Amino acid sequence: MRLLKSTIHPDLDNPQTNANGFHRQAARGIILRGEEVLMLYTERYHDYSIPGGGVDEGEDIRQGLIRELAEETGAHTIEIVSEFGRYEEYRPWYKAGFDFVHMESFCFICSIGETLGDTKLEAHEIQNGMYPVWINIHDAIAHNEHTMAHSDKKGMSIERETFLLKRIVTELL
């Protein structure tokens, strides 16, 4: 899959030579309806993100994406239409045992059934106030940019999400 961007968090010193990190793969689904995009809004971070998440050990990336979309958005009749691109990042890890995570997000263009069913969010997602929402893609970008400029509680993923949204506008709309 084509590499869209590779980033290293400014708090990290050359993580490629530091062995105290781990690798995580995630799958993300781009679902458009005209200029509306299906996003996850998270109250804790006041941001919009593309639905998807970590792929389980031994799980195929595409199967992981279908599972994550169903869990996070309640989507059904999920079809992966095509690959969009991969976003790679090295960022600090604040839990015991590792200094950083090497995260690869594999993004796919998807189609889903007309209506969303019930979500099956994880406890931390519920606690963070996460829920699926259709939003105009330009409004989502503007919202995330405002959060990046004015919020001290923003998450580390907002830069990735905003970059991806801008690429979607450039390449798919």
The pLDDT tens digits for 63-120 are 999 999 999 999 999 999 999 999 999 988 877 888 889 999 999 999 999 999 999 9
Which tokens go with 116?
């969303």
Q: How far is CA 81 from the centre of its chain?
A: 18
H helix or E strand, kind and range, residue 24: strand 21-30
* Sign (positive or negative) of CA dihedral 125, 93, 25, 105: positive
d(CA 58, CA 173): 35
* Residue ranges with strand state E in 31-150: 32-33, 36-42, 47-49, 52-54, 79-92, 100-111, 130-136
Q: Is the pTM of this model over 0.85?
A: yes
d(CA 158, CA 164): 10
Residues contacting 82, CB < 8 A, separation 6+: 108, 109
Residues contacting 78, CB < 8 A, separation 6+: 29, 66, 69, 70, 110, 111, 112, 113
pLDDT digit string, tens, across residues 21-58: 889 999 999 999 999 999 999 999 999 999 999 999 99
